[in-house]
Amino acid sequence: MTFKEEILQGIPSILPEMPVYDLHINHAPKRKAILTLEEEKLAIRNALRYFPIEWHSQLAHEFLSELHMYGRIYMYRFRPMYDMYARPIADYPAQNQQAAAIMLMIQNNLNPLVAQHPHELITYGGNGAVFQNWAQYLLTMQYLATMTDRQTLSMYSGHPMGLFPSNPRAPRVVVTNGMMIPNYSKQDDWERYNALGVTQYGQMTAGSYMYIGPQGIVHGTTITVMNAFRKLLGSKENPKGKVFLTSGLGGMSGAQPKAGNIVGCITVCAEVNPDAAKKRFEQGWVNELIDDLQSLCNRVKIAIQNKENVSIAFIGNIVDVWEYFYEKNIPVAVGSDQTSLHNPWSGGYYPVDVSFDQAKEMIANDPDAFKIAVQKSLVRQVAVINKHVERGTYFFDYGNAFLLESSRAGADILDASGLNFRYSSYVQDILGPMCFDYGFGPFRWVCTSCDPKDLQITDQISLTIMKSLQTEAPEEIQQQMEDNIQWIEHAEQNNLVVGSQARILYADSNGRIEIALAFNKAVGDGILSAPIVLGRDHHDVSGTDSPYRETSNIYDGSRYTADMAIQNVIGDSFRGATWVSIHNGGGVGWGEVINGGFGMVLDGSQECDEKIKEMLFFDVNNGIARRAWARNKGAMQAINYETKQTPSLKITDVNLVSEDIIDQLFSTQK
């Protein structure tokens, strides 16, 4: 059977053989056993409803075994045997290019070179799923292969509910992930309802089919680390010979050593999973591997002395590194942490003094003890970070719920007031005021030809446009423009591609629109050999409401609301998006964030030009308007500039109140 025939068949008519459990693949840890006996029965009923009745007796035993062994029903028997990767768009059986492009993006998210736990359909973050099980994958690909441009596929947390009549301008796919009733959105709720097979944690770009490998975050990480050093050193001193200490190499965190190399510092990144560290080394994302502390210390001393630009993966626990560096007086200039603390009890963070294998055993068989060990480890980690900060380290939270979970563990993480964290998140200090408030965010594109030559062409197009726009850009964004021009000039030589031929570039509304229009013209003129998929990370100006990350620099009290993300996905859906998604959870954890995204296929048509202008404008300026209403200075400047450029844009003005009036008012109340 050919690849196209396998896609078209969906769930096979003949029960396939059970594939061998591949020990060479990085598998998800066993999940918490949380279901009651009656709930286990319900989970089996839910799983069997995908299959013919005559298979139920055999599959029931099999699925119950999976549930007990792994904590989830993945339906391994139905994992396809063809290679999983993004193929050229013409290789997909489809009635329209939009559907074929989505199939390409789904397969990229599940590519073993890209995905963290590919056989469990998890792309990154320990639990960021594309689907809950392989039956959902098979059915979704079949629906996409057979749908017309007058149908829309509704995706309920990985489950394809079906094709519904729509129209050519409507999205081809609408995705929701983890959309729980608010009172049922705690960590154990995810464990329970995911085990039942009725919801999933889509992270951000995992469940929305927009992940492009660690490149997807390396640009933002580069901007963040670069500006962290600028805050510490000023503009006259460069980061050469300065240490950036952090942790995590599994999914998106794998971008950190590559970003450190681009910035020019010494990056030390701890990772407890040897397979994850070796994978990044083999992919060229980290320069050296070291597995004992003394050797690490000696190597870093040499790197400091020689002012090297090098990235080192330490196979071991980050707490040990912080403590050893303090003991040995290794100066840490910039520090952070990117373990998956949004998922603290299921393998997102591994405690110190417990081996990787022991920790996995505890997760499966003694989750209460594991939780205690994690919290003790966080207390210890914060204590030593505080000591480094007293010596001059600049530490920032990288939006992974490190500060939040440390506070819940009882760590010494609050400031003198006892109300706020003693360290800022990277959005509060860097990306929020420097990028998001001005509309700069992680715009991205994928060449559906899968041809590196097309990617080179798009790099050149975007570079030409960015340089042109820089000549007319306001003074407030000149540094952002220059940083992004430098990024795209060196993108190819930085060897960023893992999986699909994709690129990321922080751009504002004007930049995104102009670049997209030029891409669309290049597709129409045949300069690019196949359509381009546009998208962005949900971690953007408008896409995410997250009080401890994306909206942490919103200070009018609205950072705990989620109107912006919901408005964004609805607004994008009727302005031209090919697919849209909205998720509960992502980055900082289940119940802590609402985030959404989109995909848009550029097919070279004039109609597509209109979609670009309408949708990309709203997708950015919705967030700038909200940030301006929150009285963010940069956003107020940016939206004022945009209203002058776009007469049809009308924004409710904010009137700033004198603090003297507030002070006088409340002084009389004492």
Q: What is residue 214's predicted lDDT score, i.e. its pLDDT?
A: 79
> Binning pLDDT at 50, 70 and 90, where does residue 560 land?
very high
Domain 215-413 = CATH 3.40.50.10730: yes
Q: Is the pTM of this model over 0.85?
A: yes
Confidence of residue 670 (pLDDT cuts 50, 70, 90): low
The listed range with the strongest mean pLDDT (225-229, 279-283, 604-608) is 604-608
The mean per-residue pLDDT over the stretch 566-583 comes to 98
What confidence score (pLDDT) does residue 596 get? 95
Instruction: Tell me whether domains 215-413 and 438-499+501-645 share a fold.
Output: no
**pLDDT per residue over 45-89, tens digit each?**
999 999 999 999 999 999 999 999 999 999 999 999 999 999 999
CB atoms within 10 A of CB 478: 11
Q: What percent of the chain has pLDDT over 90?
A: 83
What 3 state SS string does 181-246 have? CHHHCCHHHHHHHHHCCCCCCCCCCCCCCCCCCCHHHHHHHHHHHHHHHHHHHCCCCCCCCCEEEE
User: In DSSP terms, which residues pair with 312 in a beta bridge?
Assistant: 268, 288
Q: How many CB atoms lie within 10 A of CB 606?
A: 8
Contact 330, 300 (CB under 8 A): yes
Tell me the per-residue pLDDT of 151-200, one tens digit each, with 9 for 90 and over: 999 999 999 999 999 999 999 999 999 999 999 999 899 999 999 999 99
Task: Supply φ then ψ for residue 3, to 5 degrees.
Answer: -60, -45
Mean pLDDT for the stretch of residues 486-499:
89
Q: Is the pLDDT of residue 253 over 70?
A: no
Q: Domain extents for the chain?
A: 3-195, 215-413, 438-499+501-645
Q: Are 330 and 240 spatial neighbours (Cβ–Cβ below 8 Å)?
A: no
Residues in the chain: 670
Over residues 587-611, the mean pLDDT reads: 94
Cβ neighbours for 44, distance < 8 A, ≥ 6 positions apart:
60, 63, 64, 67, 73
Q: Known binding site for NAD(+): residues? A: 125-126, 203, 271, 398, 587
Could you list the residues known to form a binding site, using ranges.
125-126, 203, 271, 398, 587
Cβ atoms of 16 and 9 within 8 Å: the answer is no
Q: Six-digit token pair at 86?
A: 């993004």
Give the Cα-Cα-Cα angle 69, 26, 348 (nearest 5 degrees).
Answer: 80
CA distances (Å), 510 to each of 9, 161, 468, 474, in order? Answer: 44, 37, 12, 12
Determine the Cα–Cα distance for residues 351 and 341; give it in Å rounded to an integer: 11
pLDDT of 216 > 80? The answer is no
CATH of domain 438-499+501-645: 3.40.1770.10
pLDDT band of residue 213 (cuts 50, 70, 90) is: confident
Is pLDDT at 417 greater than 90 in this prediction?
A: no
Q: Tell which wins on pLDDT, 491 or 48.
A: 48
At residue 218 the predicted structure's pLDDT band, cuts being 50, 70 and 90, is confident
- What is the Cα–Cα distance from 596 to 537, expressed in whole angstroms? 9
Average pLDDT over residues 4-31: 94
- pLDDT for the residue numbered 521: 98
Pairing of the two strands 243-247 and 173-177? unpaired
For 126, left (φ over 0), alpha (ψ -120 to 50), or beta? left
Residue 149 has pLDDT above 70, yes or no: yes
Q: What percent of the chain has pLDDT over 70?
A: 99
Q: Which long-range contacts (CB under 8 A, 24 or more apart) does 401-405 make?
A: 401/341, 401/342, 401/344, 401/548, 401/587, 401/588, 401/589, 401/592, 402/337, 402/339, 402/341, 403/548, 404/341, 404/548, 404/588, 404/589, 404/592, 405/341, 405/344, 405/349, 405/378
Residue 255 half-sphere exposure toward CB, CA atoms < 13 A: 27
pLDDT of residue 283: 84
Q: What is the mean pLDDT of residues 105-110?
A: 98
Rounded distance between C-alpha atoms, residue 373 and residue 27, angstroms = 22
Kindly list the distances between the CA atom of residue 259 and the CA atoms of 18, 40, 155, 246, 286, in Å, as whole numbers in the listed order.
41, 44, 34, 12, 10
Residue pLDDT, tens place only, 335-349: 999 888 878 888 889
Q: Does domain 3-195 have CATH number 3.40.1770.10?
A: yes
Sheet holding 243-247, edge to edge: 288-290, 310-315, 266-271, 243-247, 334-335, 394-395
- What is the pLDDT, as a whole number, of residue 522? 98
pLDDT at 252: 63
Q: Token pair for residue 505?
A: 């570039």
Which two three-digit tokens encode residue 594? 């609402």
Q: Which residue reads 């085990």 in tokens?
A: 195
Q: Is the pLDDT of residue 125 over 90?
A: no
Band the pLDDT of 427: cuts 50, 70, 90: confident
Question: What's the CA gap between 563 and 557, in Å, rounded?
Answer: 13
Q: Give the mean pLDDT of 12-31.
A: 93
pLDDT in tens, 622-660: 999 999 999 999 999 999 999 999 999 999 999 999 999
pLDDT of residue 251: 65
- CB atoms under 10 Å from CB of 642, counted, come to 21
pLDDT bin (cut points 50, 70, 90) of residue 279 is: confident
Rg, the chain, Cα only:
24
Residue 502 β-bridge partners: 446
